[in-house]
Amino acid sequence: MAEKKPLIKELTKGFLAENPVLRLVLGTCPTLAVSTSVTNAIGMGISASAVLICSNIAISALRKIIPSKVRIPAYIVVIASFVTIVQMIVKAFAPALNESLGVYLPLIVVNCIILGRAEAFAGKNKVLASAVDGLGMGIGFTAALLAMAIVRELLGAGSFAGHAIPLLSQNPMTIFILPPGGFFVFGILMACANKIAEGRGKPKAELHGCESCPMAASCKLIQTDSAENVKEATVE
């Protein structure tokens, strides 16, 4: 059982201290892909947050009856179900947003943030705490997307939420809506988040290869089992 914390701390940890994008460095692919406009960023953030909250609640409620050996496939089925529901809602009520997000909307299924929270938190904690954790991480993810999108759209397209800004739209720096600009803005925001967190006594976010992934433990177990199977087959 994970260490119990007040619900307010479970909520706010995702804002900065454990921001999934800027501190845990998860979900960078959709972050870089959809943060070219504020509208896309908000749409993706809300969609991912809805899936995150709902999947956390469902997985936490089922955590005692899901066998440990099949928990990852079970988590994926739960997440995929909610992603399908969210995608159908977006298609029905915001078809333009669905078209704009493209493949990245259904790819929420494999978003490391959602699967990571299922494995690291929802599968070990009660329903209410898991719901609050999902809400906090969703807000943190949306905030990071929105911060990147504001900078990239203003400087790269000279607009805000699709509305042209006269002073900026005349000579926009289009590099900011291209991948190099995305990586540049991401690096700057990550450095700022680290600086603020360090000022509050939090450790600096660092990448450690696979060790930084919430699924690292499970992967190592799988790799160990595979290695042992290969070794036994070789001996036989």
Query: What average pLDDT does the segment 104-116 reach?
Result: 92
Number of domains in the chain: 2
Q: Where in the sequence is the domain holding 224, given as residue range(s)? A: 206-236
Does residue 4 form part of some domain?
no
pLDDT of residue 5: 73
Does residue 1 form part of some domain?
no
Does residue 199 form part of some domain?
yes
- Which tokens belong to 231? 């070794």
Does residue 23 form part of some domain?
yes
* Residues 110, 32 share a domain: yes
Q: Could you report the per-residue pLDDT of 133-187, keeping only the tens digit for each? A: 999 999 999 999 999 999 999 999 999 988 888 888 788 899 999 999 999 999 9
* Residues 228, 158 share a domain: no
CB 54 within 8 A of CB 124: no
DSSP count for the chain of H helices, then E strands: 10, 2
Partner residues linked to 163 by β-bridges = 160
Does residue 59 form part of some domain?
yes
Count of all residues that appear for the chain in the document: 236
* Residues 231, 115 share a domain: no
* Residues 127, 99 share a domain: yes
